[in-house]
């Protein structure tokens, strides 16, 4: 009597080599982006308490850090500028200063390491004295269309400083079109736009607000960032940004929004970026420090899940450490 055949999927899990041979999803090392915080001064390397292993850097120090990132295999960085508090005003004037922090950092990085791809986050929250992402009207609400003028002006100073990609994160309506028009009219047709197309009003941004000194002095950002409950609205935002000229679209945050990442991936052929944000980073770090999880395995699993959901580009504070480990 013939014994019934038993399906044995475990045959393909018998060794590390076997598992690697049949692995369906791999994290693209060249698709990892390291965020960097740049501050005034010289020789500054200022650790961020809520983000172990992450620091703020002055321009000279950020160039040295980019040298380390380059040696580790990181090919792209995302710059956030943090001006002196005394320089902030209601109109984010210092944001579009040609000699502003991001502008100087971009020039310095490009001079020292011209092959590093420089992405500049484009928002006003770090530069306004009230901490909101746009210019306020007399009633205290964010004036969408007035903010577009500031974003376009700032994008031009970034492009003139050598930034390869501008990344508007403010969630104003029409910002991609305004920025694309300004860049093209000034001859920067090669400067790409990576839009934070679906940026949610998330609880996972807390450590970033400490790092960037950008907590709103009143209210919150839920009138312009997206409601965490909405997916169809995210696809609408993505579609609008593509129509306005975005080259890359982003979902932010990552782990609680992988369904959104998958939906966006199925909607567009454009590259999809995902921001693995500060709170997600801090949670892994905190649990690992207490011995509750294995940090390396948790990072590997997290980045794989983001890639499996459809991300081509992963912005993560783990980029340098991950690549140092997997590229040995």
Q: 3-class DSSP state for residue 288?
A: helix
Based on the residue annotation, tell me whether 199 is a catalytic residue of this protein. yes
How far is residue 238's CA from residue 246's CA, in Å, rounded to a whole number? 9
The end-to-end CA distance of the chain, in Å, is: 53
How far is residue 75's CA from residue 203's CA, in Å, rounded to a whole number? 29
Question: Residue 251: in which H helix or E strand, if any?
Answer: strand 248-252
Please report, for the chain, how many H helices and E strands are present, in that order. Answer: 11, 10
Cβ-contact 189, 253 below 8 angstroms: no
Alpha-carbon dihedral of residues 287, 290, 296, 299, nearest 10 degrees? 10
SS3 content of the chain, % helix, strand, coil (to 5): 45, 15, 40
For 80, residues 6+ apart whose C-beta sits below 8 A from its C-beta are 35, 36, 37, 38, 102, 121, 126, 211, 212
Cross-strand partners of 165? 119, 192
Residue of 88, 110, 252, 285 with catalytic role? 252
State phi, psi for 226 to the nearest 5 degrees: -80, 150
DSSP secondary structure code for residue 169 in this structure = -
Residue of 88, 110, 199, 320 with catalytic role? 199
So which residues are the catalytic ones? 199, 252
């Amino acid at each position: 009597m013939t014994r019934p055949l038993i399906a044995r999927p475990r045959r393909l899990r018998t060794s590390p080599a076997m598992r690697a041979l049949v692995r369906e999803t791999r994290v693209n090392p060249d698709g990892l982006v390291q965020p960097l915080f740049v501050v005034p001064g010289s020789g500054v390397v200022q650790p961020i308490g809520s983000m172990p292993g992450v620091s703020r850097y002055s321009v000279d120090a950020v160039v040295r850090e980019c040298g380390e990132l380059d040696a580790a295999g990181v090919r792209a960085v995302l710059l956030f500028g943090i001006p002196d508090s005394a320089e902030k005003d209601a109109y984010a004037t210092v944001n579009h200063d040609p000699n502003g922090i991001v502008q100087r950092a971009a020039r310095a990085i490009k001079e020292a390491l011209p092959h590093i791809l420089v992405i500049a986050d484009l928002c006003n929250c770090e530069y306004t004295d009230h901490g909101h992402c746009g210019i306020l009207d007399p009633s205290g609400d964010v004036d969408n269309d007035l903010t577009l003028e500031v974003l376009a002006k700032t994008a031009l100073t970034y492009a003139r400083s050598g930034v390869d990609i501008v990344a508007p994160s403010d969630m104003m309506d029409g910002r991609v079109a305004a920025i694309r028009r300004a860049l093209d009219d000034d001859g920067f047709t090669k400067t790409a736009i990576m839009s934070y197309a679906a940026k949610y009003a998330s609880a996972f941004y807390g450590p970033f607000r400490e790092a960037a000194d950008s907590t709103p002095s009143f209210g919150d950002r839920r009138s312009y960032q997206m409601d965490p409950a909405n997916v169809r609205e995210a696809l609408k935002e993505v579609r609008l940004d593509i129509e306005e000229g975005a080259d890359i679209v982003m979902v932010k945050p990552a782990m609680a929004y992988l369904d959104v990442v998958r939906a966006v991936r199925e909607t567009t052929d454009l590259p999809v970026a995902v921001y693995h944000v500060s709170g997600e980073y801090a949670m892994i770090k905190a649990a690992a420090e207490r011995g509750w999880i294995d940090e390396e395995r948790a990072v590997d699993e997290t980045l794989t899940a983001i890639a499996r959901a459809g991300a081509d580009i992963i912005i993560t504070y783990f980029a340098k450490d991950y690549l140092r480990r997997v590229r040995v």
